[in-house]
Amino acid sequence: MKIAIFSTKYYEREYLDKFNVDGKHQLTYFETPLNAETVSVVKGFDAVSIQLTDKLDANVIDQLAKANIKLIDLRTAGYDNVDLEAAAKHNIKVMRVPAYSPQAIAEHATALILTLDRKTHKAYNRVRENNFSLQNLMGFNLFEKTVGVVGTGKIGTAFCQIMLGFGCNVIANDILPSKSLIEKGVKYVSFEKLLEQSDIISIHCPLTPKTRHLFNNVTFSKIKKGTMIINTSRGAIINTKDAIKALKNAQIGYLGIDVYEGEENLFFKDLSDKIIKDDQIERLMSFNNVLITPHQSFFTKEALYEIARVTISNFNSFEDKVKTENEVVFAIP
């Protein structure tokens, strides 16, 4: 099968080539994202493989159909960047990598919490300048704090387990509560109660029309003053404008994000010699209690290995017409 692989980075190619045993598939790598400007290059390919920064709206999918593309393969778990209805209309199959390493993301969420809490990033810089003062470095114990987890799927479950290990009181909200987490001591509560009771809230639900801007002026007004908010899921679950307001009045005490609403114009690029035109991210970066990482939660050796392995196996399943759970099926909302 001839596959155009978009938004590829050097670190991915090595793993993909390794699993493409005997060059079974013809993989052509493009560093550029797939979008309305680049879609013309897909002529002659059977399938496209994309990343989360590639936006496949109805117009792009129309062009893919005209070029006879039969498969849209996501090298990600989330698929909110693909218009599934448009793909279904053109009978283009959509596949993804549903779980490559939930621990990678859960552990990164934990790193954001510990860094914001114990301010190790500030201590690191300070000590390098021979400043050994403890001024403004005071943190708090995680032990016995209440941690609210929104979404207890694969990543949320791994995160709950880490927090239980710290001796936290873990509460959660999910449309499908997990029996095994309840047995381990996680208490499911309503979303309202989670907002009211948590010292730390970590977001692990997908971005859907229901969760877009789930965190907004109204929800921020219900959290305890000074709550820490962590988002490693999708940027648009938080309304950034409202988060800035809540940071300014100290309603949010700390904000740790690995994802950001406007990240497609920023993340995964070296813009160190450019002028950033996104005023919201610049404002966020000006807060000393905000920590931003550039969508790197997934970035572990184990996760990259698994993404490549499942991606190639998706190509094989598609070619061999084998049904798998990695197919994303459009469901009428």
Which residues of the shown chain bind ligand NAD in the complex (CB under 6 A)?
A: 77-78, 99, 102, 105, 150-156, 173-176, 204-207, 210-211, 232-234, 258-259, 295, 297-298
Residue, CB closest to ligand NAD: 153
- Residues with a known catalytic role: 234, 263, 295
Closest contact distance (angstroms) between CB of 199 and ligand NAD is 19
| DSSP letters for 147-164 | EEEE--SHHHHHHHHHHH
Closer residue to ligand NAD (CB): 42 or 160? 160
Distance of CA 194 to the CA centre of its chain: 21
As beta bridge partners, residue 215 has 238
Secondary structure of residue 177 in the 3-state scheme:
coil
Nearest to ligand NAD of 45, 100 (CB atom): 100
C-beta of 41: minimal distance to ligand NAD in Å? 27
How many whole angstroms separate alpha carbon 102 and alpha carbon 178? 16
> What's the closest the beta carbon of residue 192 comes to ligand NAD, in angstroms?
12
Residue 232 vs 311, nearer CB to ligand NAD? 232
What is the residue-wise DSSP string for 228-247? EEEE-S-GGGB-HHHHHHHH
Mapping DSSP to helix (H, G, I), strand (E, B) and coil, where does residue 85 land? helix
Nearer to ligand NAD, 298 or 318 (CB): 298
What is the DSSP track for 178-222? -HHHHHHT-EE--HHHHHHH-SEEEE-SPP-TTTTT-BSHHHHHH
Q: Which is nearer to ligand NAD, 205 or 308 (CB)?
A: 205
C-alpha distances in angstroms, 122 versus 252, 272, 290? 20, 21, 12
Cβ(233)–Cβ(206) below 8 Å: yes
**Nearer Cβ to ligand NAD (42/116):** 116
Structure tokens at 291: 């920590």
Q: Please tell me the distance from the alpha carbon of residue 29 to that of residue 190, in angstroms, as a whole number.
A: 45
The C-alpha atoms of residue 245 and residue 68 are separated, in whole angstroms, by 47
Phi, psi at 238, each rounded to 5°:
-105, 135
Cβ at position 297, least distance to ligand NAD in Å: 4
